[in-house]
Structure 1
């Protein structure tokens, strides 16, 4: 491992990419210190240190945002509006014929879809910025005085524009990493923000002298990472045989291969998608919590209490588990159908031993994919509700909310492991291409 790192740093081109990636991450972390205009930081700090239920929720969300939410930075939304736009475009592609045709046009078509994704990300970022400020304003009264288009249209517009610009700035930095650095830029940006939180979380345990909890959470984190790596890298290999073709005096084909079907093809997208949808009930209900009608106010308060990521809000976590599992099947099915593996095999003269090419092969692959996806869906669901599971364990969730005491969120763990593996594989490919020994032996 150390020799591989040394080899990577000795290669000028690879060293330049690594240094460039680190430089962009430093710029991003510096930009996270810029607050949203008009924020009262004293009120924000008092609220976060209060230990209230609302503070616990904000702290939990802050773990995934890389600390930008606790500072109410212009980068508080990070690259998530762009991720949401990407997911929407992926879901719309098989449904809209024009987009489906674009996806089949190679690099040019993908660039066009990427352009549409950027356009969609801007209004999504503006809407998310407004919703995020409204929710935080209701949780922390007075944090932004006179927020609203009716009372302060210019100031409100400035806040939304600054947060939208901050989000798109983060996306631009990510694309710079993709083009000139190492790994997928957007993923690296998220990775950097999440990892940057860990030293601060560890220091909190040390300050409070909670060494037992620190060891327990470190072990839980290690075991979870191990499980994520096993499931992420796990695959079912379907044997494939290619028929022999004779052209003149030469024989082509006849070799054996396999189709790797991954246990977790969806990655962390089901968790992000489920979180995005689960935010809506409590967000909408919060507008009616102050209603003059006792019934409406009571119903709204009930929804806000039970559909927020709090340790005691078990309906939220059960719904979260079910939605993650459902979206894992849904998203995997869409991605798998887009690959058209059975059709590609038939065109290339390949077949699965014992099965006819075409419809029979397609049905078999779909059946196998659904079976192994069940394992991935259950695993992702368990990882998603890990903060709740930890929070209800005696002695671990006693610090005012187990979901806020984890070193890193479950979604964050998936992102960190996924990005780490992907980046390591890219470095591995670069080293092997230059005849050096890689990381993976």
Structure 2
């Protein structure tokens, strides 16, 4: 293992790529600590110290920004606008035929879809930065209403100052997008995934230090041990796949013979990744957001009954009703996302076009039905696994009153393990191209 790492730094091209990637990561983390214009840095730090974080969707955005959201920095939005734009673009393929046609055009079509994703990212950045500035201006960003500093995080409240903050945060998102594309082109791994990995990893030391201070060293060691077990389990499931065997018949083209090979279709247990967790968190945040805008008491000092019900059952992450609904939403969104990203009919048609077939299954419609059967069966354990991993921070919050951004669970551990495995595979492939023994054995 250590000899393979030494070979990485002895290879000039690979060393240059890793150095470039690390440089981009350093710039990204520096930008996360540069405050936006007209932001009172001292008051912001006071409010961050007074609160353990936000709930729901804002907590997820703060996690993906590496804590830059609550710092109100120029990189406050992080990679969340780009992730949202990418998900919307994928979903629009089902609704808009033009997007599906672009997807099938190959590299030229993918470049066009990428351009649409960039435009949508900037539009979402304007929307999200406007919402963030409005929330910070009213003092509701930190959820601490009894601290005067939390309602005075902006040094200037005029409209042009707010507009400048929105422009700065939107430009920061565009710069992050450029960093990611440069890393993908000149560095190692997927740039956007690595920036997400960096944002989440940046929150680990503070989260673990908070556990140590609150519960002591013994409990800290217990959490770390449980974290290692969770990581091993996540790695095992993320690497698990159902291999559907495929054979290609021999065919003659002139004097040459093509086909006659055996291969397989790898169907992962978790094909949806972390997307269902993001969907479920976003959807669960909507009721609390609606209740927040309708929580004005009447003449008798009472709030509407449905607002009280939402505040009691759908706001607190440690409530059993919230956990159950969260778990069911993740299962539903997993089936939904897999159904729109894996098309059995398209796969069966492509196999039939090139003379491929599954042993014992007729080509065409029977193959599509068989693949749909396999996908339906394998998605069930995958969705249950996603739901259980996503509930780990909520269970920790309910049992030991840990912070909702519990490091070993939820979207954070899924993304870190997935990005880590993919990056190691790419480095391993680069080593093997140069006739070295890779990192993976």
TM-score between both structures, scaled by the size of structure 2:
0.90
1:183 to 165, 189, 194: 189
Alpha-carbon distance between aligned partners in 2 of 1:13 and 1:59, rounded to the nearest angstrom = 39
Equivalent residue of 1:356, what SS? coil
Which of 306, 325, 333 pairs up with 1:327?
333
**What is the CA deviation profile of residues 269-318 of structure 1, one whole-angstrom value per residue up to 9, with x for unaligned ones?**
1112222222222223222223546565554354345433x443333322
Aligned to 1:419: 419
1:46, CA displacement in angstroms?
3.6
Query: CA offsets, 1:22-76, max 9 Å, x none?
Result: 0000001110111233334444444443457869997786444312134222212
* 1:307 alignment counterpart: 314
Deviation string 1:367-420 (CA, Å, 9 cap, x unpaired) is 101100111101001111111222333xxx1xxx33437235521111100100
The normalised TM-score by structure 1 is: 0.90
Unaligned runs of 5+ in 1: none
The aligned residue for residue 361 of structure 2 is 355
Secondary structure of 1:143's counterpart equals: helix
1:311 and 1:332 mapped to 2: Cα distance? Answer: 26
> Mean alpha-carbon deviation: is it higher for 203-212 or for 51-60?
51-60
In the alignment, what sits opposite 2:210?
A: 204
> 1:154-173 to 2 correspondence within 5 Å?
154-173=160-179
Say which structure, 1 or 2, has more relative contact order (CA 8 Å, 6+ apart).
1
| Counterpart position of 2:102 | 102
- For the 8 Å contact 1:146–1:152, the answer to whether it is kept is no
Deviation at 1:7, TM superposition (A): 1.4
Work out whether 1:340 is the aligned partner of 2:351. no
User: Structure 2 unaligned runs (5+)?
Assistant: none
Q: Which runs of 4+ in 1 moved over 6 A?
A: 55-61
Q: Distance in 1 between matches of 2:70 and 2:119?
A: 28
Q: In the alignment, which residue of structure 2 is the partner of 1:143? A: 150
* Secondary structure class of the residue paired with 2:238: helix
Three-state SS of the structure 2 residue aligned to 1:237 is strand
RMSD: 2.7
For the 8 Å contact 1:35–1:74, the answer to whether it is kept is yes
Alpha-carbon distance in 2 for matches of 1:328, 1:106: 27
Using the TM superposition, give the Cα deviation of residue 110 of structure 1 relative to its aligned residue in structure 2, in angstroms: 0.5
Q: Are the structure 2 counterparts of residues 35 and 292 from structure 1 closer, same or farther at C-alpha, using a change threshold of 3 Å?
A: farther
